Amino acid sequence: MNSFELSWKSKDGLDLFGRVWEPGERKPKAVICHVHGLGEHSGRYVHVAQAFTKAGYAMLSFDLRGHGRSGGERGHILSMDDYLQDIDSLFEQARSRYLSLPMFLYGHSIGAVQALNYCLRRKSNLKGVIATGPSLHTSVEYQKIKVIMAKALGALFPTVTIPSGLKPGDLSRDPAVVKAYINDPLVHDRASLGFGKNMLEANRWTLDHAAEFSLPLLLIHGKEDKIAFPSSSIEFAAPLKENCTLMLWDGLYHEVHNEPEKTEVLDAMTIWMDARLA
């Protein structure tokens, strides 16, 4: 596997940090553009990239604005369009390097919500979309004070940040994954009121428009996910038919790619993508 780092400017002038992984001497058969979840960064997906490059895919990922080594206030966005424009720029980077290759979009958690939202709002010729643990329904719905603060104060004081409430132990059943997450200096637990307001609105809009999703879609969710409830994937998949593959995994937590069964999960993703290229 070959890997390198890159950086570019967002539409509004922020520095965005990205990573590229390629399958060694072989020309990639397709390209995967990846969007990570809240509080984390692209560097937590090296093992995912290793699995995909071994299967012949190139993978591009980047640190969301306000995350990792990218610019911006931690855990903050002014509008959902900030994320959509940043995904636009990720595809620009991918196409500048792999102009003629087929492309997939893969998002996890809020990155999965962004991926679904992006493909509903931006018509594209992607070969398919993978969404793991989309956070369309979360425990935040039961934290009434946070919901009220986000809805009432998100427009007035958008940059005020509060703890995200994410519990590291709910990410994975692998203690090493949890320990690495806790000790990772690039991980943060902040979410602004503006972020909360925008994501609550984006979640509802995405679910309301699920029936309009037209691209091949692989939805994967751990049945024991306490961060993003499995009902997120079940509800989104409900109005879709042959273009959607829903996989619910017994016993798995939120980060299905970091569970003890991660090899089977990543194999399932690869098999699904290979079928879209056949």
d(CA 40, CA 23): 25
Q: Among residues 10, 70, 109, 164, which one is catalytic?
A: 109
Using the CB atoms, write b or e for 82-115: b if 16+ within 10 Å: bbeebbebbbebbeeebeebbbbbbbbbbbbbbb
Does residue 109 carry a catalytic annotation?
A: yes
d(CA 250, CA 254): 12
| Residues whose CB is less than 8 angstroms from the CB of residue 121 and which lie 6 or more positions away in sequence, other chains included | 84
- Which of 8, 1, 33 lies closest to 273, judged by CA? 33
Q: What are the helix (H) ranges across the chain?
A: 46-54, 80-97, 110-121, 144-153, 175-183, 193-208, 231-237, 262-277
Does residue 36 carry a catalytic annotation?
A: no
Q: Among residues 192, 225, 232, 233, which one is catalytic?
A: 225
What's the chain's length in residues? 278
- Which of 106, 162, 161, 154 lies closest to 134, judged by CA? 106
Q: Among residues 34, 36, 137, 254, which one is catalytic?
A: 254
Does residue 225 carry a catalytic annotation?
A: yes
Active site residues: 109, 225, 254
